[in-house]
Amino acid sequence: MEKTEPVKLTSLTTKGGCGCKIGPADLAEVLRNLPIATPNPNLLVGLDTSDDAGVYKLTDEIAMVQTLDFFTPIVDDPYDFGQIAATNAISDIYAMGGTPITALNIVAFPIATLDKKILSEILRGSGDKLTEAGVTLVGGHSIDDQEPKFGLAVTGTVHPDKVRTNAGAQPGDKILLTKPIGVGIYTTSLKNGLLSKDEIVYVTKVMTTLNKTAAETMASYDVHAATDVTGFGLLGHASEIAKASGVGIRIIANQVPTLPRTKELADAGKVPGGTKNNFAHVADVVSYPETMDQSDRWILCDAVTSGGLLIALPEVQADRLLGELQHKGVDARIIGEVTEENSGRITVE
Ligand code: CO
Ligand code: CO
């Protein structure tokens, strides 16, 4: 048999990136301003609060949580890419306090030019993550396209009284983050051949870690607000909580966990365009310390794929949740707090 070089999936893409529910900031604004025909009282969470997923009440006991996400390959291994896409898509259900139940595949693939085995591996990776999350694949749709894209629409359930949205954070709450940031800078560096094998394994591990344990653990706490850190970056998603809750948020920069070489790679210029867009997008609502250099500011805005949960909960419960998460192997940290002053704003210290 003829031996061929494995295809580098990330070299096939023109533009990558994952947003939360409705994509990059500029596009999200268009989608969010869709005219809504008739307000429906069963729609508990819709487009207006920039939440992770839509929530629709079916009965007094059950609401349906729906989300969709797909993107171009951000790693070269197709199995890993499938796992990342599934972990990322399911995460928005966890971020709403829901339990994921079913999923549909969304596939775009250049069937004439790429080996079908690549697609099989993407689907196998995704399937393994769905199994781990207890999610049943019920179907999907595929089209022939110039570059590969993959993702899923995921449906879950939640009790209508237990929905965790961006709104509800209260002054005095602590802010927890359950995964390190720097993923966008790492995947850009990967594309440029700057990561070691171990570093690729590590960032892949971060992106393929389900937020299942974090979500199930936070379920027994009095969580006031939650989201997951994805395309808009830590400060982008934190500002959504600040805005929706009508509070200020203080982020202690040196408490924010980052992947080991994030600063070095950012200083070397490996900052993705999406991260710089995020930085510009939140510039009006974020105050940084004057002495903070530009690459540290970009890191806090770094566009993440399949990031951790960002959780606001009462100070008296924060240490206990932190301890329980760390005990279960979740890389959680307390990274800030909610303030009454500076409503809608983020203060980085
Ligand atoms: Co998303
Ligand atoms: Co999200």
Domain range summary for the chain, segments of one domain joined by +: 9-162, 174-348
Query: How many angstroms separate the alpha carbon of residue 240 from the centre of ligand 1?
Result: 14
C-alpha span between 224 and 163 (Å, rounded)? 10
Ligand nearest to the backbone CA of 22: 1
Phi, psi for residue 114 in degrees, rounded to 5: -115, 145
Strand order in the sheet with 63-71: 43-45, 54-57, 63-71, 149-158, 99-109, 136-144
Which superfamily is assigned to 9-162 in CATH? PurM-like, N-terminal domain (3.30.1330.10)
Contacts of 121 (CB under 8 A, 6+ apart): 77, 78, 79, 82
pLDDT for 12: 78
pLDDT for 3: 47
pLDDT for 5: 64
Query: How many angstroms separate the alpha carbon of residue 21 from the centre of ligand 1?
Result: 5
The token pair at 148 is 């590969």
Amino acid at 231: G
**Whether CATH 3.90.650.10 fits 174-348:** yes
C-alpha span between 264 and 251 (Å, rounded)? 22
Ligand nearest to the backbone CA of 92: 2
How distant, in Å, are the alpha carbons of 32, 70, 84 from that of 275?
A: 21, 18, 19
Query: How many angstroms separate the alpha carbon of residue 4 from the centre of ligand 2?
Result: 38
Q: Identify which of 69, 126, 325, 60 has the alpha carbon closest to the alpha carbon of residue 217.
A: 325
Q: Identify which of 318, 171, 163, 333 has the alpha carbon closest to the alpha carbon of residue 242.
A: 171
Residue pLDDT, tens place only, 197-237: 999 999 999 999 999 999 999 999 999 999 999 999 999 99
Query: How many angstroms separate the alpha carbon of residue 230 from the centre of ligand 2?
Result: 6
Low-confidence ranges of the chain (pLDDT < 50): 1-3, 16-21
Contacts within 8 Å (CB) and 24+ apart, 169-172:
169/224, 169/225, 169/241, 169/242, 169/245, 169/247, 169/249, 169/312, 169/338, 170/224, 170/245, 170/247, 170/312, 170/314, 170/338, 171/247, 171/338, 171/339, 171/340, 172/314, 172/315, 172/337, 172/338
Query: How many angstroms separate the alpha carbon of residue 22 from the centre of ligand 1?
Result: 7
Mean pLDDT of the chain: 93
pLDDT for 19: 44
Ligand nearest to the backbone CA of 96: 2
Is residue 301 flagged as an active site residue? no
Q: Which pTM was predicted?
A: 0.93
Residue pLDDT, tens place only, 90-114: 999 999 999 999 999 999 999 999 9
- Is there a common fold for 9-162 and 174-348? no
Out of 9, 16, 17, 18, pick the active-site residue.
Answer: 18
